[in-house]
Amino acid sequence: MEYVILHRTPGRIRLCLNVPRFPAVDTEQVENHFHDLSGVAKVAFTPRTGSLLIRHDGLATTDAAILERVAAAPLPGSRRPRSRTELEQKKQIVLRSALLLVSRPLIPPQIRPFMAMYGAWPILKKGIVALHQRQMNVDLLDASAVGAALATRDFLTASIISFLLKLGEYLELWTRNYSRRLLSEMFHTADEWAWVSRDGVELRIPLTDVLTGDKVIVRTGSLIPVDGVVLEGEALVNQSSLTGEGLAVARRFGHSVYAGTAIEEGELLVQAERVGDQTRAARVVKIIEEAENLKSATQSRSEALAERIVPWSFLASGLLLALTGNPARAAAVLLVDFSCAIKLSTPLVIISSLAQAARHRVLIKGGKYLELFASVDAIILDKTGTLTEAAPQVAELAVFNGYKPEFVLRLAACVEEHFPHPVATAVVREAARQELRHDEEHSEVEYIVAHGIVTRINGKRVVIGSRHFVEDDEGITLDQASGYTQALAEQGKSPLYMAIGGQLAGIIAIHDPLRSESAAFISGLKQHGFRRILMVTGDNRETAATIAAELGINEFHAQALPDDKVEIVRALKNEGFTVAMVGDGINDSPALSHADVGISMKHGSDIARETCDVLLQEGTLEDILLARKISREAMALIDDNFRTIVSVNSTALLLSITGAMPPIYAATLHNLGTIMVGLRALAPLKKSATAQLSKRERFISQHQPLKTYAK
């Protein structure tokens, strides 16, 4: 498109576009053409003068991208009226139908049949399509019921049925859209970040600052934050969030990768092609689609039952006509059907409950997991980040073989900052508190899941991790630290070992304080019907026993590796338990995927958040109990609605068949019952939010000095 720059200052540019005066150009279409550009804050277009004003972040790259977009833009089309959404269209249909029904007494009797036919035509049309496709479904049954009312010249009944069916469709779509909006809003996060390479320097920047063309570094366990092409490296990428593939796929030079997919193993250098809200929106939409498509077993059974009832309704109507010769009584069987209410109420309960959970910032990724969580009777709790605070702290530092505390802490922070783990964050934070600079002097860093980190500095091999990793796998003697580590275990602290060149250099004692609500949470689990409560941890047995005793947990597994956690899940499932797993680390993701319901915290690793079935956005243990309560209430409401449907429709059907009630009243009773259970299904959306647990101040590190211990 041709343009002239009228005015240009840092962060602001005004252009004159060469657009036609007639027909008028669509303002919204022009403005939307620039909204997806990173750095653009505001766009204003005046079609009368062709003036385009854009405010942005002031970067030269953004300014250049705007001009490039203008030059490549096609000529805007003429202004078109905004098309109404499906919900707006259905609302208009319901209002029109209600108006016709209310104004019926004022309309001459000769015109009323035409009104009834006009209102019933959309329903009859669906029935004709179903008949043409040879499908005996609810659409055909609804059309038959309305058609029977029209055939018997019961135009009032036909109008009422048409109105109620349209209202039911509108209520279902409104609820679905409402829950979608809540789920979309709750997924906004402002603290995401990425590692990028600019001018040969590796930088950690907010995700919102990543630009098209940036070289983004993504390591094991992290989400890929952009859509782009691989420049260097090789990795196994879990794309289940986009493609549904259960197995990770290999990605190397030249392959495309997408935002929201997770690296299970390896490292990639990705050139960003699409960044920011554009990729975030795609991720949110995908999650919502999965949540809506993953039907619960109860919902699937209800819909299948509704479909199976349809032929029996036709059969019963035919038999009654043959026995009585009364078309009105035979039509009543079609007017009073069970399937309509069953198919309406159950999905509404599921979607409403998902939205209720979302309002409390608990993302349940589908009705399937809502139902499963209601029946869970065994729960496995990973200690770190679940029962303990999400921000562990460095409590002590011991050094050995002549190394200095500052050197050990500086080197540990330099290596640990590359990996998204609470313990790594604690080390980096402690180094920052002591104002220790840690420039990149080491070689490539390798992360070994559930064990530790390996790198090299000045030609010496550096390992950081668990005792099992350092002593058993690396063969490094730790006897000189046995007394110290025993004392740490008795205090409930966890040791992080560092060895350099085959010798123990230091032990960083990590204190992960228990959450203030952990003890009450364990008690609450027992009250909510969990028969087995297990704690798993990578800590040694002494530390695990101390914490389990403090919380009142009878079963625990210490020094648990990822495979051990999976085996614990399998063992419980083999015993007949429905199992939930709560964890937030990379090493928890296999167990999360094997459990019937996997639960993760917002602060957990990217791959854990992708693998889980329930995501706690606030990260409080109370939310697990809340999700349990919501799921159980949802299943109880479905059962209660089913009993109501059966009782109301059976009564209406019996009275109509015996002639004790005219078909019009039976149809009205049936449809009022349908709307009643539909409105009851919306009850979860009407419940007020519960008060959130207050969170303790986390400034312990500012008041407790770091102790050092040297030998």
DSSP string, 229-243: EEEEEEEEEE-HHHH
* pLDDT score of 97 more than 70: yes
Task: Round to whole Å and give the CA distance between 593 and 603.
Answer: 18
For the chain, report the end-to-end CA distance as a whole number of angstroms.
Answer: 74
Identify whether the C-beta of residue 243 lies closer than 8 Å to the C-beta of residue 284.
Answer: no
Report CA torsion sign: 314, 315, 321, 322: positive
Return the minimum-mean-pLDDT range out of 11-25, 210-224, 262-276. Answer: 11-25
Radius of gyration of the chain (CA): 32
Task: Round to whole Å and give the CA distance between 316 and 321.
Answer: 9
- Token look-up 């197995």 returns 247
Peptide bond preceding 23 in cis form (omega within 30 of 0): yes
- Residue bearing the bigger pLDDT, 181 or 569: 569
pLDDT band at 153 (very low <50, low <70, confident <90, very high): confident
For the segment 101-123, the average pLDDT, to the nearest whole number, is: 88
Task: Round to whole Å and give the CA distance between 288 and 592.
Answer: 20
What is the Cα 550 distance to its own chain's centre? Answer: 33
Quickly count helices (H) and strands (E) in the chain. Answer: 25, 25
For the segment 337-361, the average pLDDT, to the nearest whole number, is: 76
Task: Round to whole Å and give the CA distance between 252 and 687.
Answer: 49
Task: Round to whole Å and give the CA distance between 613 and 373.
Answer: 10
Task: Round to whole Å and give the CA distance between 364 and 62.
Answer: 38
Task: Round to whole Å and give the CA distance between 179 and 49.
Answer: 42
Strand partners, 250: 236
pLDDT band at 536 (very low <50, low <70, confident <90, very high): very high
Ranked by mean pLDDT, the top range of 298-312, 496-510, 660-674 is 496-510
pLDDT band at 574 (very low <50, low <70, confident <90, very high): very high
Residue ranges per structural domain of the chain: 3-72, 193-284, 393-511
Return the minimum-mean-pLDDT range out of 262-271, 444-453, 697-706. Answer: 697-706
The residues, any chain, with a CB within 8 Å of residue 284's CB and separated by 6 or more, are: 183, 184, 187
Task: Round to whole Å and give the CA distance between 392 and 395.
Answer: 9
Strand partners, 196: 203, 216
Task: Round to whole Å and give the CA distance between 254 and 232.
Answer: 9
* pLDDT score of 190 more than 50: no
Task: Round to whole Å and give the CA distance between 105 and 151.
Answer: 21
**The CATH number of domain 393-511, selected from 3.20.20.10, 3.40.1110.10, 3.30.10.20, 1.10.287.130:** 3.40.1110.10
Put residue 294 in one of left, alpha, beta given phi > 0 → left and psi -120 to 50 → alpha: beta
* pLDDT score of 289 more than 60: no
- Residue bearing the bigger pLDDT, 331 or 566: 566
For Cα atoms 349, 353, 357, give the angle at the middle one, nearest 5 degrees. Answer: 175
* pLDDT at residue number 101: 85
Q: Which two tokens stand for residue 367?
A: 């009705």
Identify whether the C-beta of residue 693 lies closer than 8 Å to the C-beta of residue 622.
Answer: yes
The CATH topology of domain 193-284 is 2.70.150
Pure H helices in 259-338: 277-293, 297-324, 327-335
Identify whether the C-beta of residue 259 lies closer than 8 Å to the C-beta of residue 243.
Answer: no
Homologous superfamily in CATH for domain 3-72? RNA polymerase, RBP11-like subunit (3.30.1360.10)
For Cα atoms 195, 271, 242, give the angle at the middle one, nearest 5 degrees. Answer: 90
Report CA torsion sign: 586, 588, 594, 595: negative
* pLDDT at residue number 231: 95
Identify whether the C-beta of residue 424 lies closer than 8 Å to the C-beta of residue 416.
Answer: yes
- Backbone phi, then psi, for 186, in 5-degree steps? -75, -15
* pLDDT at residue number 373: 94
* pLDDT at residue number 403: 93
For the segment 482-490, the average pLDDT, to the nearest whole number, is: 85
Strand partners, 456: 461
* pLDDT at residue number 678: 74
* pLDDT at residue number 172: 63
Task: Round to whole Å and give the CA distance between 446 and 576.
Answer: 39
The residues, any chain, with a CB within 8 Å of residue 150's CB and separated by 6 or more, are: 113, 116, 117, 120, 158
Percent of the chain beyond pLDDT 90?
Answer: 20
| E strand or H helix that includes residue 35 | helix 27-35
For the segment 488-514, the average pLDDT, to the nearest whole number, is: 89
* pLDDT score of 238 more than 60: yes
* pLDDT score of 62 more than 70: yes
Task: Round to whole Å and give the CA distance between 150 and 143.
Answer: 10
Task: Round to whole Å and give the CA distance between 195 and 204.
Answer: 5
The residues, any chain, with a CB within 8 Å of residue 100's CB and separated by 6 or more, are: 115, 118, 119, 159
Task: Round to whole Å and give the CA distance between 684 and 348.
Answer: 10
Task: Round to whole Å and give the CA distance between 162 and 213.
Answer: 56
For the segment 468-492, the average pLDDT, to the nearest whole number, is: 87
Task: Round to whole Å and give the CA distance between 258 and 268.
Answer: 12
* pLDDT at residue number 375: 92
Pure H helices in 528-659: 541-551, 562-574, 589-594, 606-611, 622-657
For the segment 301-320, the average pLDDT, to the nearest whole number, is: 74
With H, G, I as helix, E, B as strand and everything else as coil, classify residue 255: coil
Q: Which two tokens stand for residue 91?
A: 């609302």
Identify whether the C-beta of residue 338 lies closer than 8 Å to the C-beta of residue 344.
Answer: no
Return the minimum-mean-pLDDT range out of 21-25, 289-293, 294-298, 364-368. Answer: 289-293
Strand partners, 203: 196
The residues, any chain, with a CB within 8 Å of residue 656's CB and separated by 6 or more, are: 329, 332, 333, 335, 336, 662, 663, 666
pLDDT band at 180 (very low <50, low <70, confident <90, very high): low
Q: What is the pLDDT of the chain when averaged over all its residues?
A: 79
Task: Round to whole Å and give the CA distance between 259 and 419.
Answer: 19
* pLDDT at residue number 82: 47
| E strand or H helix that includes residue 460 | strand 460-465
With H, G, I as helix, E, B as strand and everything else as coil, classify residue 467: helix
- Residue bearing the bigger pLDDT, 547 or 361: 547
Read off the pTM.
0.58
With H, G, I as helix, E, B as strand and everything else as coil, classify residue 481: helix
Amino acid identity for residue 537 in this structure: T
- Residue bearing the bigger pLDDT, 638 or 688: 638
The CA distances from residue 389 to 384, 451, 514, in Å, are 8, 21, 6
What is the Cα 432 distance to its own chain's centre? Answer: 33
pLDDT band at 185 (very low <50, low <70, confident <90, very high): very low
Helix then strand then coil, % of the chain, to nearest 5: 50, 20, 30
- Residue bearing the bigger pLDDT, 578 or 241: 578
Q: Which of 63, 214, 382, 539 is catalytic?
A: 382
Strand partners, 251: 235
* pLDDT at residue number 335: 67
Put residue 307 in one of left, alpha, beta given phi > 0 → left and psi -120 to 50 → alpha: alpha
Does the active-site annotation cover 382?
yes
What is the Cα 227 distance to its own chain's centre? Answer: 20
